[in-house]
Amino acid sequence: MNIYWDYNATTPVDERVLAAMLPFFTTHFGNPSSNTHIKGWDAAEAIKNARSLLADCIGASPSEVIFTSGATEAINLGLKGAAEIFAPQRNHIITVQTEHKAVLDTCLYLESRGIEVTYLSVDSEGLIDIEALKNAFRPETFLVCVMLANNEIGVIQPIKEIADITHHYGAWMMSDCVQAFGKVPVKVDTLGVDIMPLSAHKIYGPKGVGALYLRRRNPRIRLIPQIHGGGHENGLRSGSLNVPGIMGMAKAAEICVESFYTEAIKLKQLRDLLESFILEGTQGKVNGSTTNRLPNVSNLCFPGIKSEYLLMRTPHLCLSSGSACTSALNTPSHVLTAIGLNDSEAYASFRISLGRFTTENEIIEGGSRIRKAILSENPAFNDSKA
């Protein structure tokens, strides 16, 4: 039996989402920018409704939602677009060592263009130090970028507190909410964020579509577009809209918002059951916070093993040794080393991320496979359940 526990990497498209998308591949195939005939009008009306639906899900107005090809594009637009607006008068960004590579690599690019970036460290749970954040501000700081929930260890940052401090110093607050949305409440005013990337394929929607929230009042966020050629999306993101993808994203967001309370309770129960089953009688540990984290994520370390070999011993169990976006890099996870693990411990770690279609039978079956593989790699572990 194949068991999928890599929901933080991507999710299967929910059948309800697929049903919402299908008509826009065939019957309603028009380009929403075609404003001289009914096919274009129908598509434009569908986009308008989808934008309103997604905006409602995050507590925003429709005009504050910009559709993109995914979260990576949205992050690039947010960071680069803000940097170009403020240059050259203000040229300093504050972010965190454990951010997604889409943020870190974009910041690295901006550094090559003269932007100065401060990378805040985190404690053993993955949380930033608020006093260190305050001390990092300069007169030229224009943006703080801190993700709400980490994709590898699931730790949840105090974004509202961070946003309040950021606004006190006159900067904009950007938060990557890709992993958090659909798993915990994400409302832009409650969080205090000004710029927020989202992705469809993390919430049981299709790949190749995302969105960027941009606050329009207090403060009004203005960005320099990064893709040119037609002036779509209020001039911020040119290119014909992915109508089926956008319809799927809006439907996926609606389902997540309606069901995330019950799903969160279920996933936490399954995650805790799995952790207790795998960890009992071994020297394994949970990486990062065990309390302030997403309900579906478990990042585990078993000293003395290599997660690469462990995953090879469980070929029908879909796990991850880290972020899918960095799986091609032959280096230890930057998130795990940032929270204090040495290279050996980082290589001995793997991530389990559960989802909507995970069952208790899978937890029992998959947990047994993992225990067997762990003991095969390191028989010195005391197996009290052998």
pLDDT tens for 335-361 read: 999 999 999 999 999 999 999 999 999
Alpha-carbon distance of 266 to 131, in angstroms, equals: 36
pLDDT band at 321 (very low <50, low <70, confident <90, very high): confident
Question: Is the pTM here over 0.85, yes or no?
Answer: yes
Between CA 368 and CA 226 the distance in angstroms is 49
> What class has domain 3-9+260-377?
alpha beta
Cβ neighbors of 367 (< 8 A, separation 6 or more) are 274, 277, 278
74 Cβ partners below 8 Å, 6+ apart?
66, 68, 197, 198, 199, 210, 211, 212
pLDDT tens digits, residue range 73-113?
A: 999 999 999 999 999 999 999 999 999 999 999 999 999 99
Q: What is the pLDDT of residues 189-223, one digit of tens each?
A: 999 999 999 999 999 999 999 999 999 999 999 99
Q: What is the pLDDT of residue 258?
A: 95
The full set of domain ranges for the chain reads: 3-9+260-377, 15-254
Please give the CATH architecture assigned to the domain spanning 15-254: 3-Layer(aba) Sandwich (3.40)
Q: Residue 322: pLDDT band by 50, 70, 90 thresholds? A: low
Rounded to the nearest integer, the mean pLDDT of the chain is 94
Q: How far apart are CA 200 and CA 72, in angstroms?
A: 12
State what percent of residues in the chain have pLDDT above 90: 88
Residue with tokens 């960095």: 326
Separation between Cα atoms, residue 163 and residue 143, nearest integer Å: 10
Orientation of helix 243-279 relative to helix 38-58, angle to 10° = 30
Express each pLDDT in 250-271 by its tens digit: 999 999 999 999 999 999 999 9
> What tokens appear for 149 in the block?
């929930």
Question: Percent of the chain at pLDDT above 70?
Answer: 95
pLDDT of residue 324: 47
Task: Tell me the catalytic residues.
Answer: 325
Is the separation of the CB atoms in 43 and 139 below 8 Å?
no
